[in-house]
């Protein structure tokens, strides 16, 4: 696999674990990749891959700073396909081969002293079952972590994660999350994506055939 003309030696995932956020689970995984090469490819791609076959949004340099896509960037095809394959193996390991289908992958670049607003990647967990993920090819100190928001007893609770270089987080598309201000002094770079349930898997979830499926752990319905 090539990224920026250089060889990616390995794309192996290591130990994963579920962590509880007031009844909702997410999982952490470690990716064994050439993080520095991927980091540079994302930084370069903010201004370059206008003809990428995977382009799904305008690049940050094509919109005004206040636009929601200003922080996002399409990826080089090789970077997109590498992360799709690598994260896809992790997702298959959690849910089963082919049960989740990759929807989209994009780069996310947060300049110093900026942050992301509270948002989620899906509408309702019943109509749009799936998971989201974020991977950090580099995570400088004080860059602003990944914060989840869950509601328990009518009150919102914020759970702060601890990202690090090479870390992958998988979580429900429907959980609210945000990143605090990037106080590191350099750009904070990550790659994010979404997986949706395949038609067959969605039918099984909706029909109640899989009451103990890992998907329900991610949604907090287990």
Model confidence over 135-151: pLDDT tens digits?
Answer: 999 999 999 889 998 87
What is the predicted pLDDT for the residue at 65?
59
pLDDT band at 5 (very low <50, low <70, confident <90, very high): very low
Is a pLDDT exceeding 60 seen at residue 6? no
Model confidence over 35-93: pLDDT tens digits?
Answer: 999 999 999 887 665 566 776 666 656 656 555 666 788 898 999 999 999 999 999 99
Of residues 60 and 216, which shows the higher confidence score?
A: 216
Q: What is the pTM of this model?
A: 0.86
- Asked if 11 contacts 1 with a C-beta cutoff of 8 angstroms, the reply is yes
Is a pLDDT exceeding 90 seen at residue 131? yes
Token pair belonging to 204: 């099984």
Expressed as residue numbers, the domain containing 211 is 2-219
- Asked if 81 contacts 3 with a C-beta cutoff of 8 angstroms, the reply is no
Q: What is the CATH number of the domain that holds 63?
A: 2.60.120.620
The C-alpha atoms of residue 160 and residue 149 are separated, in whole angstroms, by: 9
Is a pLDDT exceeding 50 seen at residue 1? no
- Asked if 116 contacts 178 with a C-beta cutoff of 8 angstroms, the reply is yes
Q: State the total domains in the chain.
A: 1
Model confidence over 81-130: pLDDT tens digits?
Answer: 999 999 999 999 999 999 999 999 999 999 899 888 888 887 766 678 99
């Amino acid at each position: 696999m090539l990224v920026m003309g250089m060889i990616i030696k390995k794309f192996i995932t290591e130990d994963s674990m579920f962590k509880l956020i007031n009844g909702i689970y997410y999982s952490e995984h470690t990716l064994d990749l050439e993080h520095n090469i991927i980091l540079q490819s994302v930084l370069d791609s903010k201004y370059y891959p206008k003809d990428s076959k995977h382009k799904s949004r305008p690049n940050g340099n094509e919109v005004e700073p206040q636009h929601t896509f200003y922080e996002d960037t399409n990826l080089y095809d090789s970077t997109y396909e590498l992360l799709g394959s690598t994260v896809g193996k992790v997702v298959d390991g959690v849910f089963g081969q082919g049960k989740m289908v990759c929807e989209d992958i994009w780069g996310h670049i947060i300049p110093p002293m900026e942050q992301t607003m509270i948002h989620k990647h899906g509408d309702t967990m019943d109509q749009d079952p799936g998971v989201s993920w974020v991977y950090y090819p580099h995570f400088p100190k004080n860059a602003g972590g990944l914060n989840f928001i869950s509601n328990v007893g009518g009150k919102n609770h914020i759970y702060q994660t601890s990202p690090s270089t090479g870390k992958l987080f998988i979580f429900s598309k429907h959980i609210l999350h945000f990143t605090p201000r990037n106080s590191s002094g350099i750009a904070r770079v990550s790659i994010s994506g979404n997986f949706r349930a395949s038609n067959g898997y969605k039918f099984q979830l909706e029909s109640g055939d899989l009451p103990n499926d890992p998907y329900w752990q991610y949604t907090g319905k287990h």
